[in-house]
Structure 1
Amino acid sequence: MIVSRREVFLGRALLVVLMLVTVVPFLTLFVTALHPPGTYPAGLAWPEDPHWSNFVDAFTAANMGALLWSSVLIEIGVVPVTLLIATLAGFALGHLRPPGHRAIFLTFVVGLTLPFQAVIVPLYYQMRDMGLLNTRWAIILPLIGLYMPFAVMWMRAHFVTMPEELSEAARIDGAGTWKLFSRIHLPLSIPALSSLGILLFLWTWNQFLLAVVLVDDPARRTMAGALGAFQGQWGTDIPLLCAGSLLILTPTLLVFLVFQRRFVSALMQGALKG
C-alpha cells in the first residue's frame, strides 16, 4: 500500500500534537515545583532561583519512604497472584475449553463492565465485617477480584490463538496437561504475561479510590491514595504539591519507559494474531 506525503505529514503532525498534549502537563508540574514554596506561579515561567529542595521537602513531608514500602507490599500482593490465577484460567478457557467454558467466559465479560465505583459501598461493609478495614488486605483482595475479569480475558485471548498442533505433538510425546502448560504454552506466553504485568503494576500503583475509602492510615495506602492526605495538608502550597505529585508519578513513568518495547511488542503480537 502506497502512502502519500500528505498522509505521512498528517500522521506525524498528529503524533506531535499528542506528544505535546502528554508532555506539557508534566512540564508544567516540573516548572511549578521549582518555584519558591507558598507562591502561586503562573504559566510556564522558569523561576529565577529554582528551589530543587522542594522535592526533598515533599518527600519528607509526605513520608514517602513509608508510602513507597506500602505500595511495594500491595504490588507484591496483587500482581503475582493475579497473573498466576489469570494465566491458569486463561489457559483453561482458551485452550482446554472444559464443559461450560462459554458460560464462564460470559461471566468474565460481564465482570468487565463492573466499575469500581459500583462496588465500593458493598466492599466497605464486606471488609468491615471481615475485620480488614484500615489494612493493606482491604486493598489487595478487592483489587485481585476486580482485575481478574480483564486479566483472564487478556490471557485467554493469547491462549486461544495458540496452534492445536503444538498440544497434539506434546501429547503424542506423553506430556500431560500440567507439562503441556508449563513446558510448552507458558514460555510462549511471556510477552502477554509481561505486558499484563505492566498494566497491573500501573493500575495498582495509581489506585486511588479503594485506598482512600477502605484505609484511613495514609502509610498503609498506595502512593496515589496517599496523595489525597498530602493534598489536604499542603493544598495551599502549590510548588510543594506539584513536587509531591511528580515524586509519586516517577516510578510509573520509569517502569513504562524501561518496559515500553516489551509492552508494545506484546500489543502488536496480539493485533497480528487477531
Structure 2
Amino acid sequence: MTTDHQRHPCEFQLLRYVPDPVRNEFVHVGVLLREQGEAQTDVTAMELRFTRDWRRVRCLDPDADTTLLEGMETELRNRLRSDKDGKMMRILNESLSLNIQMTPPKAYLAESLPAGVEDLMRMYVDPPKRERMARLSGRAAIQSAMRSEFEHAGVWDLLRKRIPASDYTRPGDPLRLDAGYRPNGVIRMFHAVSLEPGLDLAKVLAYSAGGLRAGVERVEKASLELTAIIEPAAKLGATDEDPDRLAMYRFGVETMEENQIRVLTTADMSRVAETARRELHV
C-alpha cells in the first residue's frame, strides 16, 4: 500500500466553465496538477486534463461551444510544454477565456502526476456513475471514438480541429470539419457523420465536398482527402432484417462516395490513427 511518504507534494487547480459570471453558476471541466517546489519550473512536472463528457456543460449552457473548449485544452497544453521560463501563471492568464476560470491552488499528495490527475478528475470533474450511464450517441459518439483513437496514437494535439470550410469555400459557410492534418502534398480531413438521425449530415458533407476540394487546391496548393466517419451498419440496426433502414444507410454511404468522400466507420479509426502517427512521425 502506498503511504504519504511515498507520495509527491503537489498542488492542483480546477478549471471551471462559467457561462455567466454574474450568476456565478459553473461546471468543473478540467484539472491542472503540478509538483511543488523547484519542479514547478519544469514543464514535464505538470499534467493537464479536460473532461471528455460535455453533457453537464450543455445542461448549464445549451449554446456552449464544446469543440472550442476541447481546442483550448490542446492549445493550453502545448503552451505549457513549451514554457521555458516557468512563467506558468502568465501563460494561463493569457490562454484562458472569460468563460473559463481557474480556482486558487490547493495542496495535494499524489502517487504520481498521471494517477493524481485521474483521482482529481473522478472527485471533481467527471459526472457521477449514474449520469455516465446515459451513453453518447450520434455525432457525439463518433467524435468521442475519433478523439480516443487519435489520442491513443499520440497525435491528437498535432491535428487541426474545427477547420472552417469558409477558409476554402466562401464567407458564411457554417460547416467546420472535425479534424485534419497535412502529411505532404495532401491534406487529410475527417468529419463525424452520424446516420442515426437520418441523411441530412451526409447530404451536407456531400454538397460541400466539391467546393472544399477546389478551395484546398487553390489555397493550400494541395489535394484534399476527405473522410467521413460513420457508425457501423449493425450498430444502427441496418441489416437484412430491417431492409428500409439498410437501404437508407447504403444511400447515405453511396451519396458521400459519389462525391469522392472516403467513408469509414468507427471500427476503422485505430487504423486511421496509426496512419496519422506514421505520417506525423510520432
Q: TM-score band, normalised by the shorter chain?
A: under 0.3
Structure with bigger strand share is: 2
Q: Which has the bigger relative contact order, CA under 8 A and spacing at least 6? A: 1
Question: Which structure has the greater CA radius of gyration?
Answer: 1
TM-score after normalising by structure 1: 0.26
TM-score after normalising by structure 2: 0.25
